[in-house]
Amino acid sequence: MMMDGHLNGAIRALEEGRPVLASFSPADPGNAQAFANGPYDVVVFEMEHNPYSTAALRDSLQYLLDRKGILDRGDPSPTVTPFVRVPANGSEMNQFLAKQALDAGVYGIIFPHVSTVEEARNAVSACRYPRPPSAPRYEPAGVRGDGPFGAARYWGIDVMDYYRRADTWPLAPDGDIFVVIMCEEVKAIRNLPAILAEVQGIGAVLIGEGDLSQDLGYPRAYQHPEVESAIAEVLAICTDAGVPAGIPHVTPANVEKRLEQGFRWLMPNPVRTNQAVDIAKAWLAKRKEDTP
């Protein structure tokens, strides 16, 4: 089955000039089902600080499928595109976690704590199949092992079409794999210009505000001037390099600010409320007061 256009919702959004709206989520059927029909572009199954389980991931991917949405759109991709944040830090130079997540069918990998050119190159390489040195867009050379069958089935395409699409955008303009590296230390900011100049195939840079604020000496003080200054520096470097910058901890109070600043990957998390319960309790309390 051959299809035109991207199956990856993050890539579609960026190519249409829209910011990507994403959220972290535990990998479990209930959360996957809750995300299935939007409004997000991307759900990132969080496996850095949650258990890394390919079994839970595979279950979640199935529950994420919104079959009515697939039918209405006329393409086999999920309404909300699944990514995984892997547990290994960039300094661990790990590859198999990304390989197993991609083989399960996810469309993108977020790599935490990427602070050097070598670590960034390893992240992109882990998401690419090997190519002969004479092939276009050879570097960074791919090291992903050949096990495409589960991913091709989940994407709803044949294996040869999967091979064509399973490359890192924007290095491969028709690729549908999206690599996000996280900038979480002062060292990473210092090396970021070189990373973006020397490593092709990075889809976005996501600022890790929590760890960055720790490294600066102001844990979780996201609005501290030094933290905001570091955030602005990362954004400026990414803007100069033409690479989307992303930020988590997006709330109703700061979402417009982050959009105005130019962030193109925003991560507002859904909020569960007990509004009906609160209204019921207030009604009952009032009734009790009014009862002689």
Helix (H) or strand (E) holding 211: helix 209-216
Closest by Cα among 245, 177, 178 to 207? 245
Reported as a single tens digit per residue, the pLDDT across 240-253 is 999 999 999 999 99
Could you give all domains of the chain from N- to C-terminal order, each with its CATH number? 9-290 (3.20.20.60)
d(CA 271, CA 64): 19
pTM as predicted = 0.93
Low-confidence ranges of the chain (pLDDT < 50): 1-2
Reported as a single tens digit per residue, the pLDDT across 103-152 is 999 999 999 999 999 999 999 999 999 999 888 888 999 999 999 999 99
pLDDT at 3: 65
- Can you point out the beta strands (E) in 137-272? 168-169, 177-183, 204-207, 245-250, 265-268
Helices (H), ranges, 93-206? 96-104, 117-126, 149-155, 159-165, 186-198
pLDDT at 69: 85
pLDDT at 2: 47
